[in-house]
Chain A
């Protein structure tokens, strides 16, 4: 009989970290570049005031390393303690090699398991769940989970249906074992029939999105997923201290929040100053909320990622 590894009862997040490029692009900047839009239109449709766009000399790997390094420093662990690195991204500069092995090397993490997750804007929630399961199964002790995206090279800067929305950034979390579970069961799924609703057609194409269809899906199909994640974790929506959905569109965020009915939860609105950073948006929002003191340690928070695929994933976590 094959022996199994000794796993842990549960997993918990030790710390978050985030990194945003310095270059701020406001709505007025986009209009000044000749995009047929204006500040009021963008704010009312998607809720974004400004976003960060990385310059040419800053890669998605640089963003990932910066965020990962901050999370690692805040966790109190050393690079030598990490034995698995997962990078959630759909905008890596290379298909081969993956991002995670290089990111790990640059952070001084020696020979960890390393793989990328592409579940688009749901990527961080997928990667976090995978990290938690790896720890519970005994496949890893301490996992660095990073969501990093540099969307700007994949955007047609004359296409106002996308260029006002997507942005660059990275967020990360260090996950370790715990006798008391602090990462709840994931509720995940996909709808490949609608794969064409958000896509990059081929390597010479830019990102395209059927905004209306995605909006309809996000405001009708996702709140049951969010509620199910609460139910499986044994946490009532009224007990949530924070609701951190993927930062896709402020109206989607408010639409899901209304149906979730979590009166005591702080609703993440990081999109206002960060734009939609895909897999980076949830850890970046959480990291910034913790930094500002918007949420308290120990409070349960519900996260839900959703996007291209279509893919989605939700789980309840405890704020570190």
Chain B
């Protein structure tokens, strides 16, 4: 799988977050913490992970999910797996 640009992941993640929890995509910026800044709970994080899996083609299991605290963490994770693929 080709490398996915940071902007592509940010845009995609913004769309997902807006659709699932109703937070405007523009608020989904790299430094934001999902729980503390965006007020997203653990079940919504599962839904976001599943949607991200469909969109980016990389699996985010529950064990990994708890380590993905900020938007940048997700970007790094997706890019890391995409690079390995």
A: residues with CB less than 8 A from B are: 44-45, 210-213, 215-216, 219-220, 251, 255
Contacts and interface: CB of A to CB of B under 8 A. Distances in A.
B79 to A, nearest CB: 23
Contacts of B62: 210, 212-213, 216
Contacts of A45: 41, 43
15 contacts: A44-B41, A45-B41, A45-B43, A211-B43, A212-B42, A212-B46, A213-B62, A215-B43, A216-B46, A216-B49, A216-B62, A219-B46, A219-B47, A220-B50, A251-B43
Contacts of A251: 43
Contacts of A220: 50
Contacts, number: 23
Interface of A is mostly: helix
A220 to B, nearest CB: 6
Contacts of A216: 46, 49-50, 62
Contacts of A255: 47
B1 to A, nearest CB: 21
Contacts of B65: 212
A298 B46 CA distance: 38
A213 to B, nearest CB: 6
Nearest to A46: B43
B24 to A, nearest CB: 20
A216 B41 CA distance: 14
Interface string B4-46: 0000000000000000000000000000000000000111001
Nearest to B44: A251
A161 B18 CA distance: 27
Given A211-B43, A219-B47, 14 more contacts: A45-B41, A45-B43, A210-B62, A212-B42, A212-B43, A212-B46, A212-B62, A215-B43, A216-B49, A216-B62, A219-B46, A219-B50, A251-B43, A255-B47
A211 B62 CA distance: 11
Contacts of B50: 216, 219-220
A170 B65 CA distance: 37
A226 B47 CA distance: 19
Question: What 3 A-B pairs have minimum CB-CB distances, sorted nearest first?
Answer: A216-B46, A212-B62, A215-B46
Contacts of B46: 212, 215-216, 219
Most B Cβ at <10 Å: residue of A211, A216, A220? A216
Contacts of B49: 216
A211 B66 CA distance: 14
A255 B19 CA distance: 13
Nearest to B47: A219
B62 to A, nearest CB: 5
B14 to A, nearest CB: 20
A219 B50 CA distance: 9
Interface in B43-72: 43, 46-47, 49-50, 62, 65
A63 to B, nearest CB: 30
Nearest to A216: B46
B61 to A, nearest CB: 9
Contacts of B41: 44-45
Most A Cβ at <10 Å: residue of B46, B49, B65? B46
B67 to A, nearest CB: 14
A215 B43 CA distance: 7
B48 to A, nearest CB: 11
A220 B49 CA distance: 11
B36 to A, nearest CB: 16
Contacts of A215: 43, 46
A210 B46 CA distance: 13
A178 to B, nearest CB: 40
A45 B62 CA distance: 17
A219 B49 CA distance: 12
A255 B43 CA distance: 11
